[in-house]
Amino acid sequence: MKKLSIVFGILAIVLSNMMCAVVAFHYCDMLWRIKYAGYSAPASVAFLYAVPYLIGMIICIILSIVLKKKELVL
């Protein structure tokens, strides 16, 4: 169980890095499109891309904690 706990911990870290990259890309893209393409939505809309990553990170952290606790019980 310890190996699975570590895997889910690492997966949560990888998801956080991916989230930062995706949100930054879409935020910059949205700024460009507002300035040059005439979009009317605010650039903060790009932060909605973080929601699925946050849900995934929360699930990974919970699984990591649960698996770590099961290791102590066994």
* pLDDT of 55 higher than 90: yes
Instruction: Please say if the pLDDT value at position 73 is more than 80.
Output: no
DSSP 53: H
Burial 15-26 (b: 16+ CB within 10 A, else e): bbeebeeebeeb
Share of the chain above pLDDT 90, in %: 88
Residue 70's pLDDT is: 81
What's the pLDDT band for 48 if we cut at 50, 70, 90?
very high
pLDDT tens column, 57-66? 999 999 999 9
Which of the residue ranges 24-28, 31-35, 49-53, 66-70 would you say has the lowest mean pLDDT?
66-70
